[in-house]
Amino acid sequence: MQEILLLSGPNLDLLGTRSPEIYGSMTLEEHVEAARSRAAAAGLSLRHLQSNFEGDLIEAVHAARETSAGIIINAGALTHSSWALGDALAIFSGPKVELHLSNPAAREPFRHVSTLARVVDGSLAGFGALGYVLAVDAVAALLAAR
Ligand code: DQA
């Protein structure tokens, strides 16, 4: 069975209590479970890693070259600063989807830059919890088209 790796960056471990007016009230675990169910319905497994450390996420992307068919990444604020994480994702050859609960383009100017946009197949932002399900659908469709 092909695996999707779902990566969650800094501060996403606090979803549920962190700015619920922006990010909603669901916990990260609840988002992961929704994504995992959707993946299972498409015949895919889903593994999740959350880290507050940039290097952990970079190493997870490196390791995914051996284990995972596709990557969904909500890199949190590293989206706006980490050229290194973007470079790591560029090395991964499977489908890649950038995901955000909120719509960074409609927020503070520093969130308008994405260092990942240049290396992913596409981005989903502003759909709240639905984004996790849509991201799985996107990776499943891209895998099926290969
Ligand atoms: C986020 C948007 C980022 O700008 C922010 O730093 C986050 C969450 C989102 O899911 O909307 O941590 O990635």
Q: What is the pLDDT of residues 1-36, one digit of tens each?
A: 999 999 999 999 999 999 999 999 999 999 999 999
**CA diameter of the chain:** 41
Report how far ligand 1's centroid is from the alpha carbon of 14 (Å): 12
Active site residue 132: no
Rounded to whole angstroms, how far apart are CA atoms 76 and 73? 9
Collapsing DSSP to helix, strand or coil, 24 comes out as coil
Query: Which pLDDT tens digit goes with each residue over 134-143?
Result: 999 999 999 9
Q: Which residues contact 73 (CB under 8 A, 6 or more apart)?
A: 6, 7, 9, 57, 89, 96, 97, 98, 99, 116, 120
pTM for this structure?
Answer: 0.98
State the closest ligand 1 atom to the C-alpha of 74, by its place in the atom list counted from 1.
13
* DSSP code of residue 114: -
Structural domains of the chain in order of their starting residue, each with its CATH number: 3-145 (3.40.50.9100)
The response to whether residue 76 sits with its C-beta less than 6 Å from ligand 1 reads yes
pLDDT digits 0-9 by tens, 54-95: 999 999 999 999 999 999 999 999 999 999 999 999 999 999
Angle formed at CA 38 by CA 42 and CA 36, multiple of 5 degrees: 110
